[in-house]
Amino acid sequence: MDRLFLAIDVGGTRTKVGLVSEKGKVFYRTYISTRRYVRNRNLLINALIKVSRDLMLKHNLASRKAIAGIGIGLPGPVNYARGIVDFLPNIPHWKNTPLKKIIQNKLKIPTFIDNDVNIITLAEWKFGAGKGADNILCMTLGTGVGGGLVIEGKLYRGASFAAGEVGHVPVNEKGPRCNCGGTACLESYVGNRIILKTARKLFKKTDITLEQLSDLAARKRNALAIKIWRETGEKIGIVLSGVVNVFNPERIIIGGGVANAGSYLFGAIRATILKRAMPSQSSAVKVVPARLSDDAGLIGAMLLVKEGLKLKG
Amino acid sequence: MDRLFLAIDVGGTRTKVGLVSEKGKVFYRTYISTRRYVRNRNLLINALIKVSRDLMLKHNLASRKAIAGIGIGLPGPVNYARGIVDFLPNIPHWKNTPLKKIIQNKLKIPTFIDNDVNIITLAEWKFGAGKGADNILCMTLGTGVGGGLVIEGKLYRGASFAAGEVGHVPVNEKGPRCNCGGTACLESYVGNRIILKTARKLFKKTDITLEQLSDLAARKRNALAIKIWRETGEKIGIVLSGVVNVFNPERIIIGGGVANAGSYLFGAIRATILKRAMPSQSSAVKVVPARLSDDAGLIGAMLLVKEGLKLKG
């Protein structure tokens, strides 16, 4: 029988908890509101423990061996090896939280934690758009622009577990100051808020949404909307040209809300890489949309445990 | 007794051939003029075979087992797995040359070939400024700007054996067209020729050399020379900020003629990374000068064979 895993996907607004098989099947999912438990970190930690216990009882999985492990994805930097959450930009009071140890001690089940982009990267690699590839950059476009790397068939975390920050590659020498402390980072050109700001100005509409902007381009062939997506794609393509020249991946997977803009965005990204990256590197790489939907965080959390426990298959 | 290796370092002007022990000791070195053998590729290949045979005879190493393997570094892109030289930008007629097979068939000794920057990276990692580190970017500053990567304790070559091209990361969206086909690449700001062009203009001297420019800064504290090195370091630091954010290495090793400019160049690179890269990544990385001298190419060629034959130690 397939092994079963408890998977937790902590988000700034809500947290998803589920049971996932090692084949990537999500048997059950439930949600708790993250916002309800932000006054101190123990509130959220206790809620996570309670929902996990309830879920295991409900499914007759309360014996320790029924669950092979617990995987937790978090929206912020995590010291993977030590199992410590460095901090969570959108959830207060989490600085230096040894979450792995806390959960393991309470539930007596092997637990692994990592940042959510690494977890999505694991999911897309094993079950999504990255299947079969050994060298991958997985990029998430949202309010922030994140990234994860698979190198030689292994998730690559870097010397301080901070690798993959493709949103913080400079597009120019000079430019807008970024939240990260840097200058002219990709994120400050193509983060959701920036795209919306441009769209609101160009369309003279203060309530336009990203979905509408995608729709305007994709279905209505609106020239202004197409222009916004093309320029967004060019900026991303410029940074990816450099990343492709250095890292020479075989696949780049792009997900997140903005990625739904579809062909204009992807067309501009691909054209820019072909134009600007070196021929050997640009001809070796495919730029593809992410394939997993909302469950990527749960599936990736399961894969995190399999990776941590060195389970095959 | 230490194993012995035959190491060949092909350069655009001259080619170095030597005997190297597995401990990195270079016992013997000799040179042939590359320029004499450029009319067709067989001239140079035959010269390499002859000098190798002569060397083995001279040192009573003609029995096949006396030499554990042959390693060859080449100044251009190489398909490492297939053992084929893609082309050599400064030596004509080498397109798609199956050099590994040719040498192996003639000399009956296991042969491995790779591009010279990967080979220098191997040397600096095992015997130079990279000792003890598992995640390294090794950068060479010259007419061209090259790079090699060690990732998780292994030389990383990429999906098409073209990884490491840090000289071709864009510094800006717009800028000078680069030889590689790209736009505003680092190399087009900090390649030797560009630095000299700037220096000749600023000093109104058409015969100034890089050595003089280094000397003017380091010893004479000449303000103009210092300015040139600082601005060069800033450009390098901007690109490295992005590379550091994505790849999160523990060490960046910088070598090549320009690296001799010393403290002004390195100071500006380090300051720019600290200012622009993310705190977790910038605090994890050390930027250090290369440590091996002229023999890096021979030592690295020996290491290439050890890597290829999976010899330990």
For A290, phi then psi, to 5°, come to: -60, 155
C-alpha distance from residue B303 to each of B50, B58, B309 (Å): 23, 23, 10
Q: Give me the mean pLDDT over the A273-298 stretch.
A: 96
Does B280 sit within 8 Å of A162, measured CB to CB?
yes
Q: How far is CA B166 from CA A68, B10, B145, B197, in A?
A: 42, 22, 7, 22
Of A232-236, B161-165, B263-267, give the lowest mean pLDDT range: B263-267
Tokens 């290495």 — which residue? B249
Give the mean pLDDT of B199-219.
92
What is the distance in angstroms between the Cα of B242 and the nearest Cα belonging to chain A? 4
Q: How far apart are CA A127 and CA A110, in angstroms?
A: 23
Asked if B243 has any chain A CB less than 8 Å from its own CB, the reply is yes
* CB < 8 Å to B163, chain A: 246-248
Q: Which of residues 162-201 of A touch B (CB under 8 A)?
A: 162-166, 168-173, 180-183
Cβ–Cβ < 8 Å for A89, A261: no
Under the banding of pLDDT at 50, 70 and 90, the label for residue B259 is low
- pLDDT given for residue A259 in this prediction: 67
In chain A, % helix, strand, coil (3-state, to 5) comes to 45, 20, 35
Q: Which of B152, B247, B286 should one mutate to test binding to chain A, selecting the residue with the greatest count of A CBs within 10 A? A: B247
Which residues does residue B32 pair with via DSSP β-bridges, in sequence order?
A: B15
C-alpha closest to that of B260 among B301, B213, B197: B213
Chain A residues in contact with B162 by the CB 8 A cut-off are 245, 248, 278, 280-281, 284
Beta strand B78-79 with B84-85 is antiparallel
pLDDT bucket at A312, cuts 50 / 70 / 90: confident
Residue B44 identity (one-letter amino acid): L
- Torsion B290-B181-B176-B75 (CA) sign: positive
- Statement: residue B184 has pLDDT above 90: yes
CA B238-B243-B248 angle, to 5 degrees, is: 125
CA distance B237 to chain A (A): 10
**Nearest residue to A228 via CA among A186, A260, A254, A261:** A261
**Nearest CA-CA partner of B243 in A129, A71, A163:** A163
Nearest to B130 by CA among A168, A162, A135, A159: A159
Q: Please judge whether A149 and B181 are an interchain contact, meaning their C-beta atoms are less than 8 angstroms apart.
A: no
Are the C-beta atoms of A166 and A234 separated by less than 8 Å? no
* Per-residue pLDDT band at A2 (split at 50, 70, 90): confident
Q: Which residues pair with A112 in a beta bridge?
A: A71
CA distance A208 to A184: 25
Q: How many CB atoms lie within 10 A of CB A51?
A: 17
Is the ipTM, as predicted for this complex, more than 0.85?
yes
And the tokens for A177? 């100051």
Interface contact A281-B165, CB threshold 8 A:
yes
The pLDDT tens digits of the residues spanning B62-114 come to 777 899 999 999 999 999 999 999 999 999 999 999 999 999 999 999 999 99
Cβ within 8 Å of residue A255, ≥6 positions away: A120, A124, A138, A139, A140, A141, A289, A290, A292, A296
pLDDT for position A260: 67
Q: Report pLDDT for B3.
A: 92
Quick one: pLDDT at residue B182? 97
Handedness of CA A192, B185, B97, B311 (dihedral sign): negative
- To the nearest whole Å, the CA of B165 is away from the closest chain A CA by 5
Specify the length of chain A in residues. Answer: 313
**A40 contact partners, CB below 8 Å, separation of at least 6:** A93
pLDDT band at B261 (very low <50, low <70, confident <90, very high): confident
Contact A34, A13 (CB under 8 A): yes
In chain B, whose CA is at the least distance from the CA of A237? B173
- Which residues are B252's β-sheet partners? B137, B287
- A158 to each of A147, A151, B156, how far by Cα in Å? 12, 11, 14
Q: What's the pLDDT score for residue B282? A: 98
Q: What secondary structure does DSSP assign to B251-313, as a single string?
A: EEEEESGGGGGTHHHHHHHHHHHHHHS-HHHHHH-EEEE----TTHHHHHHHHHHHHHHT---
Q: pLDDT per residue over A101-124, tens digit each?
A: 999 999 999 999 999 999 999 999
A104 with A52: CB under 8 angstroms?
Answer: no
pLDDT over 70 for what percent of chain B?
Answer: 98
Phi first, then psi: what are they for B163, rounded to 5°?
-65, 160
- Report pLDDT for B254: 96
Tell me what pLDDT residue A190 has. Answer: 95
Which residue of chain B has the CA closest to A136?
Answer: B159
**C-alpha distances in angstroms, A90 versus A13, A42, B221?**
9, 16, 49
For the entire predicted model, the pTM comes to 0.96
Whether A127 and A25 have beta carbons less than 8 Å apart is answered as no
Partner-chain contact B248 A166, CB within 8 Å = no
Angle between helices A263-276 and A223-247 (to 10 degrees): 40
Give CA–CA dist A35/A18, Å, rounded. 19
Give the pLDDT score at A313.
60
pLDDT tens-digit map of B51-62 = 999 999 998 887
Give residue B212's identity as a one-letter amino acid code.
Answer: Q
Average pLDDT, chain A: 95
Provide the percentage of residues in chain A whose pLDDT is more than 70.
Answer: 98
Residue range B3-54, pLDDT digits in tens: 999 999 999 999 999 999 999 999 999 999 999 999 999 999 999 999 999 9
Residue A22: half-sphere exposure toward Cβ, Cα within 13 Å: 16
A238 lies within 8 A of chain B by CB? yes
* Residue predicted with more confidence, A293 or B209: B209
At A22-49, the pLDDT tens digits run 999 999 999 999 999 999 999 999 999 9
Q: Is B90 left (phi over 0), alpha (psi -120 to 50) or beta?
A: alpha
Average pLDDT, whole number, for chain B?
Answer: 95
